[in-house]
Amino acid sequence: MKKHFVEFWEHITSMDKAKQRAEKIIQIIEKYHNQAVKLLELGVGIGVVLKNFPEKYSVAGLDIEKEYIEYCKRNFPNNKFIESSMHDFSLEEKYDVIYSVYDSINFLSNFDQWITTFLCVKKHLNNQGLFIFDMYTPKVLDDKKILQPTCQVESMGYSIDRGIVRDNLLEWEVILFEHKKENQYEKHTFNFYERIFPISKVENELYKHFEIIEKELYEEGNKIRYACRKK
Ligand SMILES: C[S@@+](CC[C@H](N)C(=O)[O-])C[C@H]1O[C@@H](n2cnc3c(N)ncnc32)[C@H](O)[C@@H]1O
């Protein structure tokens, strides 16, 4: 039976980098909304970012993948988790901060879903609430460097990542060679699809609902992080 990616995620995630993603969000919250306590992460995955938040925050997580939500519920029994797409969630609660990191928003299938994601976020934010997220910029589509396959030795075996660009689609092929015994490995292939849109197109939509209070290009301009306040 085909294994789910959740079985390998822990092995191939850099916990240090996940911690850095959390620290960046905490910095922005402390700078622009230091009264915030109720947070929601969109695209929470297996909770490697959420778990780094200090106890004063109550952080909920949302993800489209049932397996990730089940994993999170098992591993973080004190947090709340919701299985839903970020583009059409409807919850009774509102949050002080909604954030999404590691280009999770690029996983949406089309730009209409970005538009409804922004609407859902606005609807679920308290007054003065912050929306913080990062995304790939179109530069990544030209930047051949990152598309070189990379091979890594993991605790579970080996992994090879390869990026393939088609128009505004960035497809990631992740091949995992799971170590079984001695020289025996089992091969697992996973494909992830990310869609990249022009910065101006994204900002035009953001401006309808949010004030952009900070933006930062990083990873050589391949990524941008926004901090926005609900209008
Ligand atoms: C690159 S991972 C990031 C996980 C985590 N935030 C981190 O920083 O390690 C992207 C996550 O977004 C989730 N995702 C993809 N499409 C989604 C959607 N439409 N709604 C909610 N989550 C989605 C995936 O299941 C995955 O867990």
65 lines ligand 1 (CB under 6 A): yes
pLDDT band of 23, cuts 50, 70, 90: very high
* Mean pLDDT taken over the chain: 95
Place 231 in a pLDDT band, splitting at 50, 70 and 90.
very high
The runs of H, that is alpha helices, within the chain are 6-12, 15-32, 66-75, 111-123, 139-142, 144-147, 199-207
Q: Once rounded to an integer, what is the mean pLDDT over residues 8-23?
A: 93
For residue 196, what pLDDT is reported?
A: 97
User: Mean pLDDT, to the nearest integer, of 83-104?
Assistant: 98
Per-residue pLDDT tens over the stretch 105-119: 999 999 999 999 999
Domain 139-195 has what CATH class? Answer: mainly beta
Dist. CA 67–CA 228, nearest whole Å? 30
The verdict on the CB of residue 86 being under 6 Å from ligand 1 is yes
Q: Which two tokens stand for residue 89?
A: 């969630």
Percent pLDDT > 70 in the chain is: 99
**35 Cβ contact partners less than 8 Å away, ≥ 6 residues apart:** 96
Facing residues of 125 across strands? 95
For the chain, give every domain's residue range.
6-137+197-230, 139-195
**How remote is the CA of residue 105 from the centroid of ligand 1, in Å?**
7
Q: What CATH fold (topology level) applies to the domain 6-137+197-230? A: Rossmann fold (3.40.50)
Ligand 1 close to Cβ of residue 21 (< 6 A): yes
Pocket-testing residue among 16, 19, 49, 63, ligand 1, by greatest number of atoms within 8 A of Cβ: 63
pLDDT value of position 145:
58
